[in-house]
Amino acid sequence: MLKINRHILANGLRLVHSQDDSTQMVALNILYNVGARDEHPEHTGFAHLFEHLMFGGSVNIPDYDAPLQLAGGENNAWTNNDITNYYLTVPRQNVEIGFWLESDRMLSLDFNERSLEVQRGVVMEEFKQRCLNQPYGDVGHLLRPLAYKEHPYQWPTIGKELSHIANATLDEVKDFFFRFYAPNNAVLAVTGNISFEEAVALTEKWFGTIPRRDVPVRRLPQEPVQTEERRLTVERNVPLDALFMAFHMCERAHPDYYAFDILSDILSNGRSSRLNQHLVQEKQLFSSIDASISGSIDAGLFHISGKPSAGVSLEEAEAAVREELKILQNEAIAAQELEKVKNKFESTQIFGNINYLNVATNLAWFELNGVAEDMEKEVERYRAVTAGQLQTVAQTAFDKANGVVLKIVSSE
């Protein structure tokens, strides 16, 4: 069991901490409770743009990377529809540099037209490379609005349209920052070779004077229950036809979330998984196929995607997937198969939490969505899923009326 410590600053910043003396490094993970779902439908891509702007210089520090690299540190960040996450690692003797850097850019960025122009150009280029110039790159832009009609999950993190980033103004960027980048809208996780007392002292020293901000209360439109199947077929310049299926599933906090995750692994985790064994190896209907869950905080999607083998139509491929889903609906999963998947989850959890940086990321995530201690309950929650629960979930979720189908036909 990890020893998890917690301290809340007067300005609302939540510090969670776990000490690990086996390393000479310290990790700081700052999670901001803002993602693409918090954007205006006509101003999308801002959460991702900020991931880049946060490295463009803060109010007192013109270059974020240089002092961290001189201190022997590394950093990175990522954004999704729910959150924006920043992390750094630094040798323990230089740990205060990490607190200094992160606190200054929480206080304020160095907002100027040049920085915005540079980072906007980087993000626009990323949009073009990932979504416009890459085979199957626009799948998210096609599938999401097919599945979501009201909820802001209907656009990808990178943004709905290139023009939304191209037209972003400095005033809009400032407004987004001061609405969401606030100590009372963030969780700081500190792990590695640092005592709780030192972590508290440094957090109070560097973050304690940052003022609270008026973070808007999140009021997202709820997605209505889907009552009939939605389908879309498009032609693209891609090497192979491709099939994308998605089914609505529960939110992250629902007990059935673990059942959906297990079902995705039963279908496609490893060579002995059902889709790989039956549709790739035995019947040779697919050259590749995968199942996964979105893992989103609000009600998400269960994804199945694959590329049919040469000579196999998309209709045949879809029918074969439906047959596998029907088996999950009609037949209880054998105890041995279920135990094997649960064992994989357990080993992934155990080995994942050996690394001090993974622990920091997990502490911040679970603290945001409940309490950090919940990360140690994940294995038992997977263990609690029964074959009967899996069958019930499959019967409801894999109903045609609950799903969307996107087919991409090669024009080559």
Residue 12 tokens, joined: 């609302």
Residue 175 tokens, joined: 């407004």
Q: Could you tell me how many residues make up the chain?
A: 412
Domain 230-410 class in CATH: alpha beta
Question: Predicted confidence band at 1 (pLDDT cuts at 50, 70, 90)?
Answer: confident
Other beta carbons within 10 Å of 231: 12
Question: Can you give the pLDDT at residue 353?
Answer: 87
Cα 229 to Cα 146: distance, rounded to the nearest angstrom: 10
Other beta carbons within 10 Å of 118: 14
Residue 195 tokens, joined: 């005592």
Helix 314-330 / helix 387-397 crossing angle, nearest 10 deg:
140
Question: Which candidate, 170, 69, 154, places its Cα nearest to that of 110?
Answer: 170
Alpha-helical segments (H) within 233-293:
256-268, 274
- Mean pLDDT (whole number) for 39-56: 92
- What DSSP string runs through 116-162? HHHHHHHHHHHHIIIIISSTTTTHHHHHHHHH-SSSGGGS-TT-S-H
Signed CA dihedral, 389, 391, 394, 400: sign only: negative
Site of tokens 């590329």: 307
Q: Is 82 helix (H, G, I), strand (E, B) or coil?
A: coil
- What DSSP string runs through 2-62? ---EEEE-TTS-EEEEEE-TT-SEEEEEEEES--GGGSBTTBTTHHHHHHHHTTS-BSS-S
Residue 20 tokens, joined: 């690990």
Question: Can you give the pLDDT at residue 352?
Answer: 84
pLDDT digits (tens, 9 = 90+) for 100-138: 999 999 999 999 999 899 999 999 999 999 999 999 999
Give the H or E element holding residue 332: none
- Of 3.90.110.10, 3.30.930.10, 3.30.830.10, 3.40.47.10, which CATH number belongs to 4-208? 3.30.830.10
pLDDT digits (tens, 9 = 90+) for 248-263: 999 999 999 999 999 9
Cα 78 to Cα 5: distance, rounded to the nearest angstrom: 25
Question: Predicted confidence band at 377 (pLDDT cuts at 50, 70, 90)?
Answer: very high
Question: Can you give the pLDDT at residue 271?
Answer: 87
Whether the per-residue pLDDT at 412 is higher than 80: the answer is no
Whether the per-residue pLDDT at 158 is higher than 90: the answer is yes
Whether the per-residue pLDDT at 298 is higher than 90: the answer is yes
Share of the chain above pLDDT 70, in %: 100
pLDDT digits (tens, 9 = 90+) for 268-285: 988 889 999 999 999 999
Question: Can you give the pLDDT at residue 137?
Answer: 95
Phi-psi sector, 115: left (phi>0), alpha (psi -120 to 50), beta: alpha
Question: Can you give the pLDDT at residue 270?
Answer: 85
Indicate yes or no: pTM above 0.85: yes
CB 332 within 8 A of CB 391: yes
Neighbouring residues of 286: CB distance < 8 A, sequence distance ≥ 6:
275, 279, 280, 306, 307, 308, 309, 312, 317, 320
CB 13 within 8 A of CB 212: no
Averaged pLDDT score across all residues of the chain: 96
Same topology, domains 4-208 and 230-410? Answer is: yes
Question: Can you give the pLDDT at residue 351?
Answer: 85
Domain parsing of the chain, residue ranges: 4-208, 230-410
pLDDT digits (tens, 9 = 90+) for 28-37: 999 999 999 9
Q: Looking at the DSSP assignment, which residues form a beta bridge with residue 246?
A: 303, 404
Give the H or E element holding residue 340: helix 335-352
Whole-Å CA distances, 394 to 78, 264, 401: 32, 11, 13
Give the H or E element holding residue 390: helix 387-397
Question: Which candidate, 114, 90, 71, 88, places its Cα nearest to that of 25?
Answer: 90
Question: Can you give the pLDDT at residue 155?
Answer: 97
